[in-house]
Amino acid sequence: MQIFGVDIGGSGIKGAPVDLERGDLAQERFKVLTPHPATPDGVADGVKEVVDHFGWTGPVGLTFPGVVTDGAMIRTAANVDKSWVDTDARALFGERLGGLPVTVVNDADAAGVAEMQFGAGRGRRGTVIVLTFGTGIGSAMFVDGLLVPNTELGHLELNGRDAEKRASSKAKDDNELTWEHWARRVQKYLAHVEMLFSPELFIIGGGVSRKSEKFLPLIEGIEAEIVPARLQNNAGIVGAAMRAAKQG
């Protein structure tokens, strides 16, 4: 069975059909740049371009970088335009995609669901926290395999600022930090999250997970096990498709 998944990020919008039996992309993903400003209309146009690239006509699952209610209303928008707040995302994307069935979910929650089903969290019990490092820091928390939705732990305060402003991969690039310097920031962030929630496992995802060997060995003093995401930056696409299949 295949369902289309789209992952909307602060820098890019990427998507592909997903093979839900394997938990992997059925075709090579297609990506367009996220428009700036990332307004609802602009992002919806980008999503349409990605879906149209494959000539897709079935259900579509989409991620969004912010809090999403069960009814697909957007409640926060940290790394996209503030006009997203209180937008009915299901109605917006459904209309732009010509009436295709649409499911919208928090981006990190989608990545986490995929990692728990097909990746590094498979079969793990207790408290597991998936963190995606990109334009911001997304989070998905699971307790005995059950998702606690919309945790948004990237916005915890660290040194007087949103943690993602200091420890996201964008912060690394913007400040031209070495892997060692950035790893120290990530370590402080993980220590703070661990103090609050005492997870058994951290799964580190997002695009930077492809280079996990450059920074994970530098992180010290964390009691929880820390592993890279197996699905890497495709986890959001896979998880979005999974949620769309469940809704259908």
Q: Which of 248, 246, 237 is nearest to 54 (CA)?
A: 237
- Taken in order of first residue, the domains within the chain and their CATH numbers are 2-109+235-247 (3.30.420.40), 120-229 (3.30.420.40)
**What is the structure's pLDDT at 186?**
98
Q: What is the pLDDT of residues 110-135, one digit of tens each?
A: 999 999 999 999 999 999 999 999 99
Give the model's pLDDT for residue 248: 63
Peptide bond into 37 cis (omega under 30): yes
Residue 202, beta-bridge partner list: 129, 226
Whether pLDDT at 188 is above 80: yes
Kindly tell me if the per-residue pLDDT of 57 is higher than 90: yes
